[in-house]
Amino acid sequence: MTEQGRPGGGVYDWFRRGIAMLAQGNAGAAVQLLSHAVEEEPHSRAIREALARAQFETRAYAAALENFRAVALADPSDDYAQFGWGLAAARLGDFESSAEHLALAVAMRPSSKPYRDALRQTRATLKARAGGFGTVGGDRLRHDDVPADPHADSQGDPSDGR
């Protein structure tokens, strides 16, 4: 680290080291390096994408979404940025936005199984929340609310043959 609290080297060094750390599973350290790189090169889509991936891995989903969004807005045909935007939105509970961006990613790269799987899962969540798969959460009937069996004799057990 230098006197200013910045890592040694320059932007390209920070980018390369950040990518290496991300590949080694050290996303937290990658976020630190890549954040410095983005400060110096805010318009670099490659650096922002790498930072977004590292942020996603550290569960900083809102920050990851912002960086994936910046990349996608700079280049709307970037399928991976659309995919990342969709995944981060889903992690934040915004499944409508998630479905929109995952659908764009799938449209751009229909052969990508991870893209299709993520879109399928998001759409299933939306359908479940809309009641498409029955009740979700606390909408279940309580035992007291179960209607009586209309075939049961009021005097006894419906299975006793009376």
Take residue 35 and report the two structure tokens written for it.
Answer: 């954040």
Q: Does residue 116 form part of some domain?
A: yes
Residues 6+ apart with CB under 8 A from 100: 86
Phi, psi torsion values for 8, nearest 5 degrees = -70, 155
70 and 9 share one domain: no
Predicted TM-score (pTM) of the model is: 0.77
pLDDT tens series, the chain, 162 aa: 445 677 788 999 999 999 999 999 999 999 999 999 999 999 999 999 999 999 999 999 999 999 999 999 999 999 999 999 999 999 999 999 999 999 999 999 999 999 999 999 999 999 999 886 554 444 444 344 444 444 444 444 433 443
Its domain, for residue 9, covers: 1-58
78 and 51 share one domain: no
Residue at token pair 């045909």: 77
Number of domains in the chain: 2
